[in-house]
Amino acid sequence: MPYQSIFRPDLFRDRVMLITGGGTGIGRAIAHELAGLGAHVILAARRAEPLQQTAAEIRGNGGRVSTFSVNIRQEDSIKALFNAIETEIGPIHTLVNNAGGQFPSPAAKISQKGWHAVVETNLTGTFMMCREAYMRGMQNTGGAIVNIVAEMWRGFPGMAHTGAARAGVVNLTQTLAVEWAQNGVRVNAVAPGIIEGNGFKHYDESFLKSYLEPARQDIPLKRFGRESEVAAAVTFLLSPAAAYITGITLNVDGASSLWRKTWAIPDHANAPSYDGFDGA
């Protein structure tokens, strides 16, 4: 059955929209949403197989889609991606930076290699994709960019690397929104909370049981989000309805950013007090 969008048909007819990490999870949902609204969707990621599978689904629903390989941690790979898109399709109108990755670990156990891998993917890769999209056309034609980040507003215990990187992307989003406003480029971000779907497959059963299930109980809406709910938020920010919105981060998290416990603190007596004078 074709993707059932809440937005009007042909909203993005004749628009070329690039989605990184578009083969699985949230990226796949965004791809179906945008293609279903008439866009020519470009899916880019490292692994070809998920891209081809999602592309086949979109074509089966009558949508237009192209796939390209890219490693967003490598500048040369990003430049090659845009070269190929320009040659085969033409300039893009929209960029969704969805590609990313992380792994659960206490901060003290994250190696320098692991830290760099996550920061280079989530922060540096996002910056280089934004810069290339701007330099290759958006500076002259305008456009819209949406960066996918995460719900990390009170720190990110258990994933310090991605929390720091995603916070950097939020700041980058605000900066680019100001610098590129004169060129007609809007830059926003979407911060999903815990989204049920393909992403769960990347974590082992013990992590799901010890972290995710207790977290569900602390989400005010008492459930995890759906990939299509994130896709709908992205679609709104890309649409003409958001023409006066730039530099924001839209939370799609069931209010979990307002009330959630994610890191158990054991009882301890390791917090000495400060008394400013004798006999306090």
pLDDT of 24-33, one tens digit each?
A: 999 999 999 9
Angle (CA) 257-261-266 rounded to 5° is 150
| pTM for the model | 0.90
C-alpha span between 15 and 40 (Å, rounded): 6
Q: What is the pLDDT of residue 41?
A: 98
**pLDDT at position 259 over 90:** no
Give the pLDDT band (50/70/90) at residue 274: low
Q: What is the mean pLDDT of the chain?
A: 91
The residue assigned the tokens 């969704």 is 96
% of the chain surpassing 70 pLDDT: 91
C-alpha span between 50 and 77 (Å, rounded): 19
For residue 205, what is the enclosing H or E element? helix 205-207
Cβ 7 vs Cβ 83: under 8 Å: no
Q: What is the pLDDT of residue 117?
A: 95
Please tell me the least confidently modeled range out of 47-51, 173-177, 209-213.
Answer: 209-213
The domains found in the chain, sorted by start residue, are 16-252 (3.40.50.720)
User: Is pLDDT larger for residue 98 or for residue 222?
Assistant: 98
